[in-house]
Amino acid sequence: MFVFTSKAKILAISLTVIGSVMLVIGFNSPSSSSHDTLDSHHEEASHSEVAHHEEGSHSEAAHHEEASHSEVAHHEEGSHSEAAHHEEGSHSEAAHHEDASHSEDSHHGGHHDHGAVNRPWSAFLVNTIFFLGIGVGTLFFLAIQYAAQAGWSAGILRVMEAVALFVSIPLLGLLFLAITGSMHLHHIWHWMQEGIMDPSSPNYDSLIAGKEGYLNAPFFIIRTVAYLIIWGGAAYLLRRNSLKEDRLPSGQSLFFTQRKLAAVFIVLYAVTSSTSAWDYIMSIDAHWFSTLFGWYTFAGMFVTALTVLNLLVIYLRIGGYLPWVNENHQHDLGKFMFAFSVFWTYLWFSQYMLIWYSNIPEETPYYLARFGEYKVLFISMVALNFLMPVLVLMSRDAKRIVGFISLAAVFVLAGHWLDHYIMIMPGSVGYNYGFAWAEIGGFLFYAGIFIYVVLHNLSSAPLLMKNNAMIHESKLFHQ
């Protein structure tokens, strides 16, 4: 039986408190409006200052000129202008070839008006999405075990349950962001800005207005509540039935009940995994879309969850809490982490290559922004998420050695946190990005809660199920 020690509780609570304090500082610090952060990517600081200077001067001019002059000014400062859709012929095409991720808010009181204000909120969103991926990815993996009637993994199902139950926490964080966004406390999602869908408003955008049926605050909040009910409800029911099964007489099982529940969740998750990616990430760049985006986001979340699951199983094995789990189980978990790192890379390349090859003005600005100010981070992210796992985990033996798995896990977690950062920050804060109080504080805040919730769940029930139909097969698993 796992014991949630007082030292672990103190650690979890301390991380949460420290993270909360850092978040408060980040939300109230002037540094959130400038580049004076702990950035490793700001070796090109002088270029950033020039960019800020140009942005400021063009911004001032843009607010006193007619709309067409505004768009020319934004074109000169290197942003793709969302207002380019209102331009005539050649002006539209030229504007769309500019650095695109900054444009949507630029024309509508955006990046140079809201970027600094958005930064702590955007940092909180990055960490919320990152930890959401750990929870929902593990929940999906748990459901797959039941649906596929997998035997090898039965000995670690309780570990998956403990992580899956965490999913409701970041979903509450997303609900908080959705509500505050609808109250105009931030403009992470530019389509929430006042007047954006009102033809009589100077902020009117016909393209975003055309998506009003889906992109509107009430429906956005309703969808967030639906994700909370579906994902959180599935995690709760799978856990409840699992504990109920332990209390049944020997020989009785709820395995097929669990299998049906898991199958229903997988079908619902097939839809909601994509819609949630559109809602919280893709709609930040509201003029841009990709038909691969849902799959791409799912792959990143899933490999993040598999990585955390690997580390958690290693921790429990070292502590002697999983004597029935051996190097063969660890090998399979390592194979999943390796395989889905390659799968993520395949989706990343497919999305990037198709947009690069077609070179359509409506699509290229998304990557132009990320190859501009965010270029070093963008390339580093791809290297961390693909090259490092391949180099470390390619061989069969490496997937059985705790040290190699742990090393690869560090690279993968850092890379996928950076992936979410690069997906969110260019479209919500533009040049006003960095790594300081809000970014670090948000991570520590969620890390503390994650440790507390997961270790509490592990300690609240035996780690070995009593009546699961696949337990004997799991104990004998070898390859």
Span 353-369, pLDDT tens digits: 999 988 888 888 888 88
Q: What does the pLDDT read at residue 381?
A: 93
Checking if the pLDDT of 114 tops 60, the result is yes
Least confident of 36-45, 155-164, 419-428: 36-45
Whether the per-residue pLDDT at 67 is higher than 60: the answer is no
pLDDT for the residue 30: 63
Using pLDDT thresholds of 50, 70 and 90, give the confidence band for residue 132: very high
Quick one: pLDDT at residue 145? 95
pLDDT at residue number 61: 36
Per-residue pLDDT, 68: 38
Span 427-449, average pLDDT: 92
Distance between CA 111 and CA 194 in Å, rounded?
A: 15
Residues 370-383: pLDDT tens digits?
A: 888 899 999 999 99
Helices 402-429 and 111-147: crossing angle, nearest 10°?
140
Mean pLDDT is lowest, of 73-77, 151-155, 298-302, for: 73-77
- In the predicted model, is pLDDT for residue 251 greater than 90? no
407-to-55, 286, 303 alpha-carbon distances in Å = 41, 37, 15
Query: 93 Cβ partners below 8 Å, 6+ apart?
Result: 361
Q: How far is CA 110 from CA 82, 298, 414, in A?
A: 10, 29, 29
**What is the DSSP annotation of 78-141?**
TBPPGGGGGS-HHHHHHHHTSB-TTHHHHHTT-HHHHHHHHHHHHHHHHHHHHHHHHHHHHHHH
Could you please report the per-residue DSSP string of 313-346?
Answer: HHHHHHTTS-TT--HHHHHHHHHHHHHHHHHHHH
Q: Which residue has the higher pLDDT, 62 or 425?
A: 425
Is the Cα dihedral 442, 444, 447, 451 positive or negative?
negative
pLDDT tops 90 at residue 231: yes
Place 43 in a pLDDT band, splitting at 50, 70 and 90. very low
Average pLDDT in the chain: 83
Mean pLDDT, to the nearest integer, of 61-87? Answer: 38
pLDDT band at 44 (very low <50, low <70, confident <90, very high): very low
* pLDDT at 306 (0 to 100): 96
- Note the pLDDT tens digit of each residue in 445-465: 999 999 999 999 999 999 999
Look at 75-89, 215-229, 238-252 and tell me which has the smallest mean pLDDT.
75-89
**Cα 365–Cα 368–Cα 373 angle in degrees, nearest 5:** 130
Lowest mean pLDDT of 9-18, 47-56, 171-180, name the range: 47-56
Residue 391 pLDDT more than 80? yes
Name beta bridge partners: 79. 99
Res. 125: pLDDT tops 90: yes
pLDDT recorded at residue 136: 97
- Determine the Cα–Cα distance for residues 95 and 443; give it in Å rounded to an integer: 36
- Does the global pTM surpass 0.85? no
Q: Hey, what's the torsion of the CAs at 318, 474, 260, 240, to 10 degrees? A: -40
What is the rounded distance in angstroms from the CA atom of residue 5 to the CA atom of residue 267? 38
Question: What's the pLDDT score for residue 98?
Answer: 39
Give the tokens for residue 220.
């956005």
Contacts of 86 (CB under 8 A, 6+ apart): 67, 71, 205, 206
In sign, the C-alpha dihedral spanning 66, 71, 72, 76 is: positive
Whether 423 has a pLDDT exceeding 70, the answer reads yes
Residue 25 scores a pLDDT above 70: yes
Give which of 367, 344, 312, 332 is closest to 415, Cα–Cα. Answer: 344
At residue 443, does pLDDT exceed 50? yes
Backbone phi, then psi, for 99, in 5-degree steps? -65, 110
pLDDT at residue 198 in the model: 87
Distance, CA of 207 to CA of 83 (rounded, Å)? 9
Assess whether pLDDT exceeds 60 at residue 38: no
Q: What is the mean pLDDT of residues 41-61?
A: 40
Query: For residue 229, what pLDDT band results from cuts at 50, 70 and 90?
Result: very high
Question: What pLDDT does 372 receive?
Answer: 84
Q: What is the pLDDT of residue 467?
A: 85
Section 43-64 average pLDDT: 40
How far apart CA 85 and CA 196 sit, in angstroms, is 14
Please give the residue that has the higher pLDDT: either 71 or 419.
Answer: 419
